[in-house]
Amino acid sequence: MTAAPVLPRHLLDIRTILLEPEVERFARGREILDRFPDAERVPVASHWRIPALRDANAGDWLQGKQGTLVLGTKRGLAFRPNGRSADFIAPSTSNGCAMACAYCYVARRKGHSNPVTVFVNIEQVCAAIRRHAGAQGPKAGPNQVDAAAWVYDLGENGDLSVDALLSDNVRDLVAAFRSLPHAKGSFATKWVNPGLLGYDPQGRTRVRVSLMPHADAKLLDVRTAPVAERIGFVNDLVAAGYETHLNFSPVVVREGYEAPWEELFRELDDRLSAAAKAQLACEVIMLTHNAALHEVNLLWHPKAEALLWRPDLQEAKHSENGQANLRYRTGWKGQWLRRLLDRLRARMPYCRVRYAF
């Protein structure tokens, strides 16, 4: 394992490790445990069923994210078709996040603060990716995901820039895609981790840097890197060999919402390097909220709900997994999205919109 990075203590200060029984059978599990020798180790039967996490009150929402690490194994190695950010969702090497975005869909699904879970059977995950990518062969033609490569989303349930502070799983994933001529890895991030710059991706990993207007991020993107730092990181990632796109999300609608986005587009146009602009693309995602998450947020971050909870603008819509979510009203949502896209294209015509919804 590479030398352990210095953890940002305000984000991660691991005091307790909850681990499944088989974790120490895996080299990655032993490496992570060695990295945190002073942490209390608490055996658990399953990383999915930990009552102490699920039953924690909202006052412990952030404390649990900072001080708790869960270690387990990824049992299901299935691949799911996607078609938006990626062609396929790969088996994840983590679940949960040390950050605490007020609109987080993972927390919405799991019902608690959901600290980082690292899956230690990384060799099995990488082998499954190689088999799946090899079976696809060359991509028949371009689509909205990519012109030539099959793209695999690697971080559906977490932020791999933060995961890379905890283990070498992300380094191993980036290395795996270097040897796959018809495939790319992809993940979105809101954290600036300079350690990623030494992974030598050779253009086979796409990083989607998530951005929103500064004031919105300060209120909603709790414990994330400041937007100004994320913008600078785009240039660094491109120089380091990553394909680097932007993820404008979520777009939170209220009176005058367009102006802060226009200012963000102006800042990007001023600060992005020529190399970054030459390969740039983006995705634009309107806010989806959830009544259960709203109730939790009222207990620990009610100011966020003043922006996120707008029944006058939202309507109920059931998600693919059966949850009753709130999305902007049909008809109006399309108009609000078009207003934003018009401003994006006027300021950054070189930024291709891969998809928007």
Name which residue leads in pLDDT, 49 or 173. Answer: 173
Q: 190 and 210 in contact (C-beta within 8 Å)?
A: yes
**d(Cα 242, Cα 77) in Å, to the nearest integer?**
26
Distance CA 41, CA 74 (A): 20
Say if pTM beats, i.e. exceeds, 0.85: yes
Give the chain's mean pLDDT. 93
Q: Give the count of domains, the chain.
A: 1
Name the pLDDT band for 292 (thresholds 50, 70, 90): confident
Is 11 within the bounds of a domain?
no
Asked if residue 322 has pLDDT above 70, the reply is no
> Is residue 2 one of the residues assigned to a domain?
no
- Model confidence over 152-175: pLDDT tens digits? 999 998 999 999 999 999 999 999
Report yes or no on 181 lying in a domain. yes
Residue 3 covered by a domain? no
Domain, as residue range, for 281: 16-356
Give a yes or no: residue 184 inside a domain: yes
Give a yes or no: residue 73 inside a domain: yes
Percent of the chain as helix, strand, coil, to the nearest 5: 40, 20, 40
Mean pLDDT over residues 43-65, rounded?
Answer: 79
Which is nearest to 102 in space by CA: 343, 287, 321? 287
Instruction: Tell me the percentage of the chain whose pLDDT exceeds 90.
Output: 83
Do 118 and 169 meet the contact criterion of CB atoms below 8 Å apart? yes
Q: What is the pLDDT of residue 85?
A: 92
Mean pLDDT of 308-336: 88
69, 116 contact by CB (below 8 A): yes
Indicate whether 10 belongs to any domain: no
Q: What is the CATH number of the domain that holds 307?
A: 3.80.30.30
**Residue 147 predicted with pLDDT over 60:** yes
The per-residue pLDDT for 297 is 87
> Which pLDDT does position 24 carry in this prediction?
97
Of the candidates 176, 183, 179, 233, the one whose C-alpha atom is nearest the C-alpha of residue 207 is 233
Alpha-carbon span 19 to 39, nearest angstrom: 12
β-pairing, 150-153 with 183-189?
parallel
282 — phi, psi (to 5°)?
-150, 165
Q: Which two tokens stand for residue 144?
A: 């909205």
For residue 128, tell me if it sits in a domain: yes
Picking from 307, 317, 263, 253, the residue whose alpha carbon sits closest to that of residue 285 is: 253
Q: Write the burial class of residue 184 (CB in 10 Å: 0-12 exposed, 13-18 middle, 19+ buried).
A: buried
